[in-house]
Structure 1
Amino acid sequence: MQKTIHNTAPSGIKRSFERFEPYITKVKKYPIFLSVVLIGFISAQKLNLAGEIYIGEILGLIYILSNLRKINPGKQLKSLILIGLLWSLCQLISDQINETELLDSVKGVGTPLIFISTIVALSMFFMRNIRRTPSFLLGIYLGQAVQLVIFQNEYFEMNPWKWGIGQLTLGLFSTYFTFFLAKKRNLYLILFVISFSIIGLLNDSRSMAMFPMFATVAYIYLRKRKFGAVLKKFRGKFAITKLAFIIFSLLFLTNTIFTAVFSSDWVLEKLPAESAKKFKTQAGGEYGALLGGRNEMLVSTSAFLDKPLLGHGSWAKDKDGYHDKLAILRYTLGYAETNDSSYKSDLIPVHSYIMSALVWAGFAGGLFWLYIIRWLLIEFLASFEYLGFFFYNGLIIIMWDIMFSPFGANARWMAASFISAFYCYSKYISKNKVIK
């Protein structure tokens, strides 16, 4: 917990965090630490069983089945389960209508079921003893390190920092800084983030470079009474609507900044030649750098509108020339030098949690992710002044990923781990809050 918490929190919260902090700063006194780290480490190992699945997801299913009588999910988890089941059901119907191959259908229908069961299982695990959370998260990142060494994929080989080392470094630091560092100084955080961002830019990773900077600014200023009081005004009626307006405004601002920065010769000259060329092309398009880096949105939106009710089925095949349409749009809008259509995948182009759900399953898939966004923002508004850097950084990343990143096995596991940790931590804060 952060030092500023003890300076500003009500006395009940202060006592609560004082009980929690010795575990995370003096772990040698608690043998449970190593056992939970080991569980997290094992859970982070990935298997290939007709598709990628994490041991943690399998253990989550076992944990739920062995504790069925003890499951008592709160309102948020009940809603999550219902909407997730609706998504899965619509995916099943869509697969039947679109005559999806059996294996693809099993994976597509099973994705929301595995995802929500993992969130529920981890939430149960953390709620029974909130002190398990830091150790489990640490175990996950240590387990990821082993995965990077043993199972290197083609993306990692092309760019080790962007597709593995950078994510692992940020995860380990944010976990350590938030939960295990006894005497926190903002200077430590600032120095790390500046160094991390510079390395990220030099390794062709703009989002990984920029998001920790955004998280650091938010973490430092929102926890101050003066700035936190402004965000508190968003609580209450229409809170999410008001906050959504701010988020979209920030996205517009980010796009403007990205476009200006990566159109600057002064910046591009300091980057590797290949990265500079790509960034300049993306920033030179009609709608700026954001859409330049995620231009699959140009046709995934069209694909959803073509079949909005039930979508194109699991692992939706491109039967209607969406790749060719995308190539033409890229060229027309200035994001490519030619309109040649060259692609490795035969799937409809999607690069987003929410858009892949919308394209595959129709409105129900999108409804699920809209609920996730709303849920996380409500929890953040309720407890932002007590949250550590891990949660600020994680929230920004998952919001970005929902809008602009593919939802594969790694994303499914890491998103479920973060959501459950964030949810349980927020509930812990609410439960122990005593206003006097």
Structure 2
Amino acid sequence: MNLKKTGVFLYTMLSTLKVSLVGQLWLNEFLVILATPFTYKPSDLDEYPYLKKMLAALLLLLMFQVVTDLLIVHSTPQNYLRGWAGTIIAMLSFIFLFKTLNEPSTILFFIFMTMIKNIIYTDDIVDSDMSYFKFKIAPILTNAMYLLVYYLYQRGEQKLVLSSLVGFSLLCFAMDSRSTGLIFFISAAIIYFLNSKVSISRQKIILFSVIAAILFQICYFFYVRAVLDGEIGGDHSREQLERLDNPYNPLGLLITGRAETFAAGAAIADKPIFGHGSWAPDKTLKYYMILLMYHDEEMNLQSAREIDHLVPSHSVLMGAWVNWGIGGFLAICYLFWLLMKIGFNLIRNGQELALYPVLVLMTIGLMWTFLFSPFQALRLYIPGIAAILLTSYYELKEMTVPEWALYNN
């Protein structure tokens, strides 16, 4: 095992252990702090301009964090140190993982070790049969699918790649892991169209969109019927659908499933310029009550006050605005735009890469993460995916010199 694979092994396995220091830090984050000076070279910023831009976005975020926490809302040291530490760790992780995951074999080993880590470690959120699949089994199978579709794609078995993606997507829908199922289904459609060399026109896009919308509504109708009849899904999905006036409206399901978004919107409206600060507490329970309203639940005020509630967002993008205002939001939007630009370049031009289906899945998954995952994903999950996309982008750039690669980025 070479040095980089040893680093990957330690990074993944130490991510299951944490210590109390400036909040909760994982042991692999200590590894990142210790290893970054040995992996980073000042010339990297000139050699890899996209890495420089990503770090600039995070530095900009850190600046707005400092301004909001110290000068505007006067956050407690415990809260602002936790907030700042998360951004600094994200920056160091970007550097460490990009310089470590710089070849396909190391990327594949990282995916394999992530799968092993998920087998060994079970998150505290797993507390029921359906959450066991969603938060335990689905992450294991997702990484296994990455390895499987890589193997099939490099052998030219595109039909098996597509059938594997669609089959796993249907399994996830049936087992109450809708977001994972949607990511795999959309990725399968993208891989099919971009590998079939279909000529794309405005008329075809409109026609396909109409047909896709009709098919989606038909499939969604049968999905709802099956969940309500107890044939697929679980208690969580059934409870969500039963509290809707019209369960056959997919927008209603999105609203009740992502109620934190509306609570975050109210928090942004209250403090749109500078935000509420790092780890902002919901002292009056105003935003918690909004959350319960969309969940159609009543609040026990006494028991609610026994637990500290943070201002909710459940979105990396909106969480930045909630906590650090419009400046924090723009900084994260810039990072998001950079990663999407890289990802969609790979989707459009990277069919010759053996990792192509994995890169499509990661790009679509990254989009979902920024929109609907807690802000802590910025330090825990995004750096690894970003490093893989960035490594693959520069690999593709070395392989070919199309028009898009002539720009200095």
User: Does the TM-score normalized on the shorter chain lie above 0.5?
Assistant: yes
Is structure 2 residue 172 aligned with structure 1 residue 205?
no
Indicate if the aligned counterparts of 2:240 and 2:253 stay in contact, CA closer than 8 A: no
Q: Matches of residues 5-404 of structure 1 in structure 2 within 5 Å?
A: 35=6, 38-39=9-10, 41-42=12-13, 44-50=15-21, 51-73=23-45, 74-96=48-70, 97-127=72-102, 129=103, 131-148=105-122, 152-157=123-128, 159-178=131-150, 182-227=154-199, 257=217, 260-261=220-221, 264-266=224-226, 268-269=228-229, 270-272=231-233, 274=235, 275-282=237-244, 284=246, 287-320=251-284, 321-328=286-293, 330=294, 336=296, 346-384=309-347, 385-387=349-351, 388-404=356-372
Cα gap change, 1:162 to 1:381, in 2 (>3 Å): closer
- Cα 1:360–1:32, aligned 2, differ >3 Å: closer, same or farther? closer
Provide Cα deviations, 1:312-370, integer angstroms capped at 9, x if missing partner: 01111113512224444x2xxxx627687785651112111111111111123212321
**Cα distance 1:278–1:352, how it changes in 2: closer, same or farther (>3 A)?**
same
TM, length-normalised to structure 1: 0.75
Alignment check: 8 A CA contact 2:61 2:332 kept: no
Alpha carbons of 1:300 and 1:258: their partners in 2 closer, same or farther (altered >3 Å)?
A: farther
Give me the whole-angstrom Cα distance separating, in 2, the residues matched to 1:186 and 1:99.
Answer: 56
Alignment check: 8 A CA contact 1:296 1:351 kept: yes
Give the conservation status (yes or no) of the 8 Å contact 2:344–2:363. Answer: no
**Residue 271 of structure 1, CA deviation:** 2.6
- Structure 2 unaligned regions, length at least 5: 203-208, 404-409
For residues 222 and 322 of structure 2, what CA distance do their matches in structure 1 show?
31
Aligned-residue offset at 1:280: 4.0
The CA distance in 1 between the partners of 2:87 and 2:134, in whole Å, is 27
CA contact (8 A) 1:89 1:109 kept: no
Uncovered stretches (5+) of structure 1, i.e. residues with no partner: 1-29, 232-248
Aligned-pair CA distance for 1:226: 2.0
CA separation of 1:435/1:356 partners in 2, compared to 1, >3 Å: closer, same or farther?
closer
Partner Cα separation in structure 2 for residue 258 and residue 396 of structure 1: 23
Q: 2:154, 2:330 → 1: CA distance?
A: 41
Deviation at 1:435?
6.2
Cα displacement (A) at 1:62: 2.3
Deviations 1:101-152 (A, max 9, x none): 322211111111111221122112234x55422222322222232223xxx4
Q: How big is the shift at 1:404? A: 1.3
Alpha-carbon shift at residue 225 of structure 1 (Å):
2.1
- Provide the C-alpha distance between the structure 2 equivalents of 1:40 and 1:183, rounded to a whole number of angstroms: 30
Structure 2 residue identity aligned to 1:120 = I
Percent identity, aligned pairs only?
Answer: 19
The alignment partner of 1:351 has SS state of coil
CA-atom RMSD in angstroms: 3.5
Indicate conservation of the 8 Å contact 2:18/2:27, yes or no.
yes
Query: Which amino acid counterpart does residue 375 of structure 2 have in structure 1?
Result: F
Contact 1:261 1:267 in 2 (8 A): no
Counterpart-to-counterpart distance in 2, 1:380 and 1:413: 19
Deviation at 1:302, TM superposition (A): 2.0
Cα separation, partners in 2 of 1:104 and 1:36, compared to 1, 3 Å:
closer
Give the stretch that moved more between structures: 372-381 or 212-221.
372-381
Q: SS state of the match for residue 126, structure 2?
A: helix
Following superposition, the deviation at residue 176 of structure 1 comes to: 3.7
- Quickly say closer, same or farther: Cα 1:289–1:56, change in 2 above 3 A: same
Superposed displacement of residue 414, structure 1: 2.0
